[in-house]
Each structure stands twice: as structure tokens, then as C-alpha cells.
Amino acid sequence: MALGLDGLAGMADGPRMLYRSAHIYFLFGCLLNLFLAGSYDLRVTDEDRGRFAALHILITLARSGLILLSPLLAVSSFFLESASTPDLDRLLASFSAFAALGGGIMIVAAAVIDRISRT
């Protein structure tokens, strides 16, 4: 940014700060993907989950989809919204953050279901 865009000189403070920090959303989504990859317990089968097996599969598919979608939306937001929108409204970045939040909540929900099904 310092060389190619002259340090964003002349841009208002709010959009400049969002432009500079837009990559944080992408890094956060990637970190969530790494966390999700490490959270799988391959020793637990669907038979071990008993009556919660179908619910666990549904939550697993939903959380994986949301967490995989989050960094894609963040990158799209960086390239499409950072320079083109003069105001602070970033729709794709908002969807990226909400997808990450929803996926994180579903990670916790799946862990709770695993704990309940083991008792």
C-alpha cells in the first residue's frame, strides 16, 4: 500500500482504516478453518452419538459451509468493497463476520451435542 497506493493519502480516515484492516477478516476466517480442521475427533462415530447422529451431521455440514464461506466473502469484500464504496457500509464484510460467528456457534453446539451423547 505504501508503494502502490501512496499510503492511501487523501482518503478519509474511516475508509482508510477499513481498507488497511480488511485483511484481518480474511486472516480470521482462515484461522477458523484451521481450528475447524483440528476440532474433528475421528474416534467418535455416528453410532457413538446415538439419537443425536442426524442432528450432529446437520450441524457439521452447516458449520463447515459457513466457515468455508467466511474467508471467501472477506476476500471478495477486500477487492470489491474497499476502494469502490466511499461510505463505511461493507455488506460482504458483514456477511463474512456473521458467517464466522454462526460457524463458531455451531462448533460449540456440536461439542455440546457430543458431550450430551456420551453421557
Q: HSE (CB half, 13 Å, CA atoms) of 16?
A: 11
Q: CA-CA distance, 106 to 37, in Å (whole number)?
A: 14
**Residue 31, pLDDT score:** 87
Supply the pLDDT for residue 11: 66
The answer, yes or no, to whether residue 1 has pLDDT greater than 60, is: no
**DSSP assignment letter at 51:** G
Dihedral, 115, 36, 28, 83 alpha carbons, nearest 10: -130
What cell numbers appear for 1 in the block? Answer: 500500500
pLDDT for 59-78, tens place per residue? 888 888 998 999 999 888 88
- What percent of the chain is modeled with pLDDT above 70? 68
111 grid coordinates: 461439542
Q: Binning pLDDT at 50, 70 and 90, where does residue 99 land?
A: very high
Give this prediction's pTM. 0.74
Could you tell me which residue, 43 or 71, shows the higher pLDDT?
Answer: 71
- Per-residue CA distances from 104 to 28, 60, 65, 84 (Å): 12, 11, 12, 30
